[in-house]
């Protein structure tokens, strides 16, 4: 790591801390993620999901992993540096985004996600904090700590992603969910870009399902039979809610945008579009 000087801490997560650094050779700014646990061999490092997925992914809207360094049993990821994340960008705004900016942000998120899915991965933790940006003009998907290969075999762990962006099938403890969970999260993020407030700010997993029901209405059994089977298996009783008009909740969105959010926020994962099917 003597090829980099470190400047300041950018963040601290469950698995590691992130520092801002500079390449001594090129002067380029980088973000250096130092993993908390120790790694005693290269094989151990190469098995990490983050390494496996990011080494294969090279796209303008996916954060670039520049190199992986193991030194004194510590593992470091060196990424391209981005100024902030989408959560910070939204938090610091004192007025709503124009729809043209939201279109541009959404286009980039969907391009990056289409590329990730096409290469056989799904992200599992799409949320504003994991979308790095240089203002609203450039967005890149980051943090592949939870990414899975689409072809890897279920069952998967039930705990993935931040609660507010978690798809209903995950909240209901499905073990064979797949890439549509990312599209649900993108639908939530899109709504938040319009209002600067989370769409489903649940205080627990059960409250999260209630919050979704209050907006989308209780699902019908014939619309999503698998969801009813999952609910029965965990003794969950559906609240009886009528759907809210998304246009009332998000008045500054065009009818085209409202339709796209409705499509991405389908209860049944099979009915959600793939990122490459969406045009906005």
- The answer to whether residue 204 scores a pLDDT higher than 70 is yes
CB atoms within 10 A of CB 57: 19
Name residue, tokens 């991405």: 264
What is the per-residue pLDDT for 11?
Answer: 81
**What is the Cα–Cα distance from 11 to 77, expressed in whole angstroms?**
14
Measured distance CA(64)–CA(138) in Å, rounded: 14
Determine the length of the chain: 280
pLDDT bucket at 45, cuts 50 / 70 / 90? confident
d(CA 156, CA 152): 9
Kindly report the CATH number assigned to the domain that includes residue 57.
3.30.200.20
d(C-alpha 237, C-alpha 234), whole Å: 9
Is 92 catalytic? The answer is no
Say whether both 125 and 250 belong to one domain: yes
Q: Which pLDDT tens digit goes with each residue over 13-37? A: 777 888 999 999 999 999 998 988 8
Q: What is the pTM of this model?
A: 0.91
Spatial distance between the Cα atoms of 246 and 244, rounded to a whole number of angstroms: 6
Q: Which of 125, 143, 158, 268 is catalytic?
A: 125
If asked whether residues 12 and 72 sit together in one domain, one would say yes
Q: How confident is the model at residue 54 (pLDDT cuts 50, 70, 90)?
A: confident
Pairing label, strands 65-71, 74-80: antiparallel
Helix (H, G, I), strand (E, B) or coil at 130: helix
pLDDT at residue 160 in the model = 47
pLDDT for res 159: 47
Same domain, 102 and 61: no
248-275 burial code (b ≥16 CB/10 A, e <16): ebbeebeeebbebbeebbbbebeebbeb
Last residue of a domain, one of 37, 56, 80: 80
> What's the rounded mean pLDDT across residues 163-185?
95
Do 47 and 173 fall within a single domain? no
pLDDT at 155: 57
Token representation of residue 144:
């592949």
Q: φ, ψ for residue 262 (rounded to 5)?
A: -60, -40
Q: Please indicate if the annotation marks 34 as binding a ligand.
A: yes
Give the SS3 label for residue 86: helix
Domain count, the chain: 2
- Do 118 and 96 fall within a single domain? yes
CATH code, domain with 261: 1.10.510.10
Q: DSSP class of residue 136?
A: B
User: Do 140 and 245 have their domain in common?
Assistant: yes
Q: Are residues 73 and 94 in the same domain?
A: no
Same domain, 115 and 32: no
Dihedral sign (CA 51, 55, 56, 59):
positive
Co-location of 23 and 47 in the same domain? yes
Q: What share of the chain is helix, strand, coil (3-state, %, to 5)?
A: 40, 20, 45
Domain that holds residue 36: 4-80
Mark whether 65 and 199 lie in a shared domain: no
Query: Could you tell me if 97 and 28 lie in one domain?
Result: no
């Amino acid at each position: 790591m003597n090829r980099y000087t470190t400047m300041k801490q950018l963040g601290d997560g469950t698995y590691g801390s992130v520092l801002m650094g500079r390449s001594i050779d090129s002067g380029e700014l980088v973000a250096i993620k130092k993993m908390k646990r120790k790694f005693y061999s290269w094989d151990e490092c190469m098995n990490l999901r983050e390494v496996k997925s990011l080494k294969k992914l090279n796209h303008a809207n996916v954060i670039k992993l520049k190199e992986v360094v193991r030194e004194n049993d510590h593992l470091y990821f060196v990424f391209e540096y981005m100024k902030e994340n989408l959560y910070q960008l939204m938090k610091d705004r004192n007025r709503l985004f124009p729809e043209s900016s939201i279109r541009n942000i959404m286009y980039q998120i969907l391009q990056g996600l289409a590329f990730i899915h096409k290469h056989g991965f799904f992200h599992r933790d799409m949320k504003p904090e994991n979308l790095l940006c240089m203002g609203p003009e450039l967005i890149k998907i980051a943090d592949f700590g939870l990414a899975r290969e689409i072809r890897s075999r279920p069952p998967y762990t039930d705990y993935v992603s931040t609660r507010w962006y978690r798809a209903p099938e995950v909240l209901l403890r499905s073990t064979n969910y797949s890439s549509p969970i990312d599209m649900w999260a993108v639908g939530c993020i899109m709504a938040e870009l319009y209002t600067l407030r989370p769409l489903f700010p649940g205080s627990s997993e059960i409250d999260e399902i209630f919050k979704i029901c209050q907006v989308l209405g209780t699902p019908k059994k014939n619309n999503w039979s698998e969801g009813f089977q999952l609910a029965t298996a965990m003794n969950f009783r559906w609240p009886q809610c009528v759907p809210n008009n998304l246009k009332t909740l998000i008045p500054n969105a065009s009818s085209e945008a409202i339709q796209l959010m409705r499509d991405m926020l389908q209860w049944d994962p099979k009915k959600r579009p793939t990122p490459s099917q969406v045009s906005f």
